[in-house]
Structure 1
Amino acid sequence: MIELHIEGMSCQHCVRAVTEAIGAVAGVNGPPEIDLDTGSARIAGNADPAALIAAIAAAGYQARPRD
């Protein structure tokens, strides 16, 4: 399980955009669990975290590993 903090999400449209970006990364197993209130995402699979962060950035949001 990979956990990321995502900045810039403010609505369900944002959640959909991030979900689609994450889903396009190789190694992701199923849709991510995204919590709009906390700005967190939990991603199942063995995807490269750097690839996930890059895909989220390409969608217009900032992501980093959760502390």
Structure 2
Amino acid sequence: MTDLKNSGSCCSTDGSCHSGAASDTQTGGVTTVYKVSGMTCGHCEGAVSQEISALSGVTAVTAAARTGEVTVTSAAPLDEETVRAAVDEAGYELVGTA
């Protein structure tokens, strides 16, 4: 996957973005908040959300570039290394849980 944080193509010079974040409002299960570094806009949020959403058992993902937090709801607790690999695939760095 392309390293989106370094591509420079998702944000204009005024910080506005060309796409929104992927989000799902389903509830239930285990909710964990992760800190992710490098997200700066809605496009970044979408890239991280897309990769984490593809993990088995994930039912909802909300990424917030402003805070650097990604809230993940899953049927069961997720292995942090699995989440780290998904965030890495999106081109960002998982710092840990918030």
TM-score (norm 1): 0.86
The higher relative CO (CA closer than 8 Å, separation ≥ 6) is in 1
Choose 1 or 2 for highest CA Rg. 2
CA distance in 1: counterparts of 2:58 and 2:79, whole angstroms: 9
Given the alignment, which residue of 44, 53, 57 partners 1:14? Answer: 44
Query: Gapped runs of 5+ residues in structure 2?
Result: 1-30
Residue aligned with 1:16, SS: helix
Instruction: Judge conservation of contact 2:46–2:63 (CA < 8 Å) in 1.
Output: no
Q: Deviations over 1:21-67 (max 9, x none)?
A: 0111111112x122211100110012322111111101110013224
Counterpart mapping for 1:15-34 below 5 A: 15-30=45-60, 32-34=61-63
Query: Gapped runs of 5+ residues in structure 1?
Result: none
Give, as a single letter, the amino acid of the residue that structure 2 aligns with 1:60. Answer: G
Aligned length: 66
Q: Quote the residue 2:92 is aligned against.
A: 61
Higher helix share: 1
Q: Quote the residue 2:67 is aligned against.
A: 38
